[in-house]
Amino acid sequence: MLLKASPAFSILSPPQKEVLNHLFSSGSSVNSNLRFSSAKNGTGVVVCASKGAHNSSLTGVVFAPFEEVKKELDLVPTVPQVSLARHKFTDECEAAINEQINVEYNVSYVYHAMFAYFDRDNVALKGLAKFFKESSLEEREHAEKLMEYQNKRGGKVKLQSILMPLTEFDHAEKGDALYAMELALSLEKLTNEKLFNLHKVAARNNDVQLADFVESQFLAEQVEAIKKISEYVAQLRRVGKGHGVWHFDQMLLHEEEVVA
How much is the pTM?
A: 0.71
**pLDDT tens over the chain, length 260 residues:** 444 444 444 445 555 555 555 544 544 444 445 555 555 555 555 555 555 555 566 566 655 656 666 666 666 766 667 888 888 999 999 999 999 999 999 999 999 999 999 999 999 999 999 999 999 999 999 999 999 999 999 999 999 999 999 999 999 999 999 999 999 999 999 999 999 999 999 999 999 999 999 999 999 999 999 999 999 999 999 999 989 999 999 999 998 665 54
Distances (CA, A) of 49 to 3, 4, 105, 225: 7, 11, 56, 56
* Ramachandran class of 60: left when φ > 0, alpha when ψ lies in -120 to 50, beta otherwise: left
Contact criterion met (CB below 8 Å) for 123 and 113? no
- What is the distance between the alpha carbons of residues 95 and 55, in angstroms, rounded to a whole number? 47
- What is the distance between the alpha carbons of residues 189 and 87, in angstroms, rounded to a whole number? 32
| Residue whose C-alpha is closest to residue 187's, from 111, 112, 78, 85 | 111
- What is the distance between the alpha carbons of residues 127 and 256, in angstroms, rounded to a whole number? 11
Contact criterion met (CB below 8 Å) for 61 and 4? yes
